[in-house]
Chains A and B, each alone.
Chain A
Amino acid sequence: MAVAEAPTQQQAAPAVKPPQTFTFRLWRGDQAGGEYKDYQVQVDEGMVVLDVVHRIQATMANDLAVRWNCKAGKCGSCSAEINGKPRLMCMTRMDLFEPGQVIQISPIKTFPIIRDLVTDVSFNFERAKEVPAFKPKPPDPDGKRRMYQEDVDRVQEFHKCIECFLCQNVCHVIRDHEENKKNFAGPRLFVRLAALEMHPLDTNDRRELLKARAGLGYCNITKCCTEVCPEHIHITDNAIIPLKERVVTEYFDPVAWLARKVTGKDKRSGIVE
């Protein structure tokens, strides 16, 4: 089999680069208001933004509110806007920035502030409750369930979602229009709906939710969600557009819906790999 040419374990220890000082401009405050505060902080080689925020918390601002868990890009807790760009703090390396550059960190904008860098993301958990659950078809006659890798691949893409809600944060429909939140579930929920709808075993009917309450029609496929997804899920191309197609064909053609549910097959082209 084709493998890398030779092991590379003989390299010498790279020299540790000397620490550099950066200015971190962090939003501090709550619902009542707040302001950006500057912290001069020493940054060592290999640090990510979350490490620096933790250093500020441990040494200069013990009460600095920041949400985090895994520090490895797997839990999706530490979403923030870093110099205006929505990112996971734990996966943003400091060597992206020029020494001397001011690094401004704001809480994600679409959701209400709790304190400092922490926002109230309960909107997403409330909308998740509305999704009709997974409802599998009966197992094979021998009691087993068979699915083939090529059929689960595309749903596994959606299951990679770590619920960081960066896609929700950048979606114009709710970022700039609070009033739309009651009518629009957002990209995260569309990914969830797509995962259920394309699950080879699922039989549940979500047409009403898709057509009406989830507000799929509000999305004008600008792909902002796809661009910020840290898991590189093709949210627009692989989840939202197919769902939109289904609403058109199946909401008005129940036979098409039924046929897909019975066969578990979806003859749709254009999956982006």
Chain B
Amino acid sequence: MATEPYDTHEYDVLVVGAGGAGLRAAIEASALGAKTALVCKSLLGKAHTVMAEGGIAAAMGNVWPEDNWKVHFRDTMRGGKMLNNWRMAQIHAQEAPDRVLELEEWGALFDRTKDGLILQRDFGGHRYARLAHVGDRTGLEMIRTLQQHAVHKGIDVFMEFNIQRLLKDGDKISGAFGYWRDSGTFMLFKCKAVVLATGGIGKCWKVTSNSWEYTGDGPAMALNAGADLIDMEMVQFHPTGMIWPPSVRGILVTEGVRGDGGTLRNASGERFMFRYIPEFFKAETADTEEEADRWYEDKKNNRRTPDLLPRDEVARAINAESKSGRGSPHGGVFLDIATRRPADYIQKRLPSMYHQFKELAGVDITKEAMEIGPTCHYVMGGVRVDADTTATTVKGLFAAGEVAAGLHGSNRLGGNSLSDLLVFGRRAGQYAAEYAKGITSQPDVNPEEVDYTIQLLLKPFNGSGGENPYAIHADLQECMQNNVGLIRVEHELKEALDTLQVLKKRLENVTVVGGRAYNPGWHMALDLHDMLRVSECCTLAAIERKESRGGHTRDDYPTADPEWGKKNVVIRPKNGDLVLSTEPLPEMPDDLKELFQEAH
């Protein structure tokens, strides 16, 4: 067999992914003296973090001094319907304010309060205005600040490089292998530790806010390396995506619109969310429009508007409203800020949304209501990690950000993602560097495993079956959208499993045209393996969990079951197969349990 040439690099820590979590991890690992490489599939600074709009949740108390980590912790747990890993939620709430202030030390410029401090805005599920933000382009500010800091620290960055496989020496991580997108040539990283910061799986759905990068490569590679996944059934459909014109369907409309006073209306102009307040949140949610509107200014004497219930609740309500014939012309509902706030306020607070609707839909949001509907946005599930260290169940493999599971339970609150990236990105970098220090000699890479990987990567060029990778992708998205979407039912989920098997067979017959240099058709053919794998995990876990909770709604089991609320669905690889089991959640200590007894 003719061997394919490839370059080799040696590092202590390899960080895969350069969004918020990957950048923060690389900065930390490098600062602790580990020789660190940062690898990203796109150009630096283009990762999905750049699209985050609303803000970073952190109980700094700049706007509401009553806010503190315990309130944030409680909001996060309740938002996740208590399926969260309590220790992750605690660490997250405690450390988020320091991580935000650190960004300011590195040059970030957040919007300010009148006193000159970092301004915080209201968001769904958060008791107080808590999101540090820059208009509605907070993710851009965050990624640029981290990117520039990483560049100044001299971290080695490999742009447009796609890691395809994690390599092991016995039970330990020893490297990773992949290809340069521009040339199609291969490269081996030998390393002691890997931090996965690869993001989510949203490109498996048709209506999605996610970019091409969200292929589930992280969970798929982790599974291949022997790591556990949990909560893969928990997928967040953001309530407000654009729906018209069809080509923009799915593009995100920030929750900040509602945080800044926008309200949801049906076709007759009714603020319908007041009819969808669940028992779980009744005590803390306003039941009249007057109280809801007063709440923006006076949180002590009023309860939160139901427009800002957690995302799972709002998405289901919008779905129900449009299904019952009270929706907007194109199958969604209306999001109105035009009648509720002055035009200059809207333009100042929501400049990207103004621009986005004006340019893409021809809608002036200071004059007209937006038409919106749910869009696939985030996966709460992913690689199982240790709460303190972000270590996965494979030695030397760490995971942070969307690819990791646990913090958000069954539903993530808006704003908790950017803070997650910072808090656990830093921890992943720290513990990966410490782990690497404890490994005295570079672990071995098995050349046969590398050769095997090369064969897999080149296989699509030898295909003669004539299957178009883009057609398979379109059919996968159709399948997941229709059968594993916002509302699920057993027979449709099983249908999806059958379809996924058919798609896997079709992928065997995929044929790639063209050469290896910057060939998106080839990249898609390879990405499809990961997308099919994570779609299967999501579907299997969704069949397993026979209740409705957070991002998993079963039409055939429409209520939350307290027994299911005590366990995670775990997916573990075994001899190439996926084995499902349920395992109990970690037990919350009594002093934290007390936080949930208090009357609101």
Contacts and interface: CB of A to CB of B under 8 A. Distances in A.
B399 interface: no
B520 A65 contact: yes
A51 B360 CA distance: 12
Given A69-B212, A147-B116, A10 B46 contact: no
B256 to A, nearest CB: 14
A33 interface: no
B338 A10 contact: no
Q: Is the interface of A mostly helix, strand, loop or mixed?
A: loop
Given A7-B369, A13-B329, A70-B51, A118 B43 contact: no
Contact of A57 (B45, B115, B267, B470): B470
Given A71-B211, A147-B116, A46 B134 contact: no
Contacts of A10: 267-269
B518 A114 contact: yes
B520 A75 contact: no
B245 A74 contact: no
A93 B360 CA distance: 7
Contacts of B48: 69-70
Interface string A1-25: 1111111111111100000000000
Q: Do most interface residues of chain B lie in helix, strand or loop, or is the interface mixed?
A: loop
Nearest to B521: A62
B265 A3 contact: no
Interface residues of B, number: 85
Contacts, number: 207
A115 interface: yes
Interface string B321-338: 000000011100010101
Interface residues of A, number: 72
A74 B140 contact: yes
B528 interface: no
A65 B246 contact: no
Interface in A140-185: 144-149, 152, 155-156, 159-163
Residue from A7, A11, A125, A149 with most neighbouring chain B CB atoms (10 Å): A7
A115 B50 contact: no
Contact of B117 (A67, A136, A146, A155): A146
B367 to A, nearest CB: 5
A8 B329 CA distance: 12
Interface stretch (B190-198, B308-316, B507-515, B573-581): B507-515
- Among A9, A45, A71, A152, residue most surrounded by chain B Cβ atoms (within 10 Å): A9
A76 interface: yes
B195 to A, nearest CB: 21
25 contacts: A3-B342, A4-B366, A8-B367, A8-B368, A9-B328, A44-B246, A46-B245, A48-B360, A62-B521, A63-B512, A63-B520, A65-B517, A70-B48, A70-B50, A72-B252, A74-B137, A77-B46, A91-B359, A91-B360, A118-B518, A125-B43, A133-B149, A152-B109, A156-B135, A199-B109
Given A14-B329, A46-B360, A74-B352, 5 more contacts: A47-B245, A72-B251, A75-B211, A77-B42, A152-B111
Q: Which 10 pairs show the lowest CB-CB distances between chains A and B? A: A46-B245, A63-B514, A13-B329, A146-B116, A62-B521, A134-B107, A58-B470, A133-B152, A65-B518, A4-B338
